[in-house]
Amino acid sequence: MFTGIVEELGVITAREDLPDAARFTVRGPTVTTDARHGDSIAVNGVCLTVVTVSEGAFTADVMAESLRRSSLDKLGAGDRVNLERAAAVNSRLGGHIVQGHVDGTGSVLAVTESEHWTVVRVALPVALARYVVEKGSITVDGVSLTVSALGFGAESGHWFEVSLIPTTLSLTNLGGATPGTVVNLEVDIIAKYVERLTTLREADNA
């Protein structure tokens, strides 16, 4: 489990494409200080398992399913990524419950800068729209954020907005997001459980 509070901006130093997967080497001096084989590290919100650790970098294999469902398939050497180690049971939950299981991807529609924050509008896949509510939580590239607005456009379809403070802009890759940037999305797991329980109850009463 993760909290969506990014610990550092890492850099992909190498990518090796395999028949049904890809192996990434990621430099992250902070997240590798206590990392061992088998540990979990979220990379742009995708929970990956550490294979090796060496000199401030780690390798992780990404299976074809994860590549298909996330933006990791578009990444290569030189790309910056958000990194977070799995939450410790004795730590504060600074964000919200994040599993690292990406539900889909969205693309940045607009970036509007102001003096104290930046508003980013992201296209929301129709299959995920029912799980997102204003003032609720959503994970964007592994960053726990609060939905500040929701809407629907004739051309853009469903969208949501998040307001990013300077700290988020400087410490995560969202600071470099531009229209067209593809981001990983994970909706609040509680919303999915509520829907499932409601559906089962309706089926039992039918």
Domains and CATH numbers, the chain: 8-85 (2.40.30.20), 104-195 (2.40.30.20)
pLDDT in tens, 97-113: 888 899 999 999 999 99
Partners of 45 in the β-ladder: none
Q: Report the pLDDT value the prediction gives residue 87, as an integer from 0 to 100.
A: 87
- Is the pLDDT at 204 greater than 80, yes or no? no
